């Protein structure tokens, strides 16, 4: 929340919708209360709907093909730094078709502006 919306507090993420499967962590009372507090709209997928898992699995494949299978890490710290660098590259430079060929960082900035306007 702090990274994407600038703070952590009540309704800081209003306007955001979270799509998830029916895993126990997502339907738990604690998780549901937390996303409600943050202003996130809950959007559970339909049972046996494969799209949600497919999106997550595709990201893991991108991570493997662009970092984990092409570099050797001598230490856990090297891996941590590599993951942070990949996150930055993916967030700022990777253009995603469903986002109008904008990066996820650009989409988050637009969402922050929309939330600020609505407030």
Residue 94 to residues 30, 36, 44, 69, 78: CA-CA distances in angstroms? Answer: 33, 30, 27, 19, 22
Mean pLDDT computed over 30-57: 83
Domain boundaries of the chain, sorted by first residue: 1-49, 66-119
pTM: 0.61
Q: How confident is the model at residue 112 (pLDDT cuts 50, 70, 90)?
A: confident
Candidate ranges 20-24, 28-32, 92-96, 109-113; pick with highest mean pLDDT: 28-32
Residue 110 to residues 1, 37, 73, 99: CA-CA distances in angstroms? Answer: 15, 22, 36, 11
Q: Which of 60, 50, 65, 55 is nearest to 96 (CA)?
A: 55
């Amino acid at each position: 929340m702090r990274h994407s919306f600038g703070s952590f507090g009540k309704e800081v993420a209003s306007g955001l919708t979270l799509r998830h499967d029916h895993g126990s962590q997502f339907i738990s009372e604690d998780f549901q209360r937390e996303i409600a507090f943050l202003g996130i709209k809950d959007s559970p997928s339909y049972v046996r709907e494969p799209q949600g898992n497919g999106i997550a699995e595709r990201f893991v494949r991108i991570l493997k093909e662009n970092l984990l299978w092409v570099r050797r890490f001598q230490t856990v710290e090297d891996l941590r730094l590599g993951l942070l660098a990949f996150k930055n590259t993916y967030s700022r430079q990777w253009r995603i078709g469903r986002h109008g060929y904008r990066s996820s960082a650009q989409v988050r900035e637009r969402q922050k502006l929309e939330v600020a306007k609505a407030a």
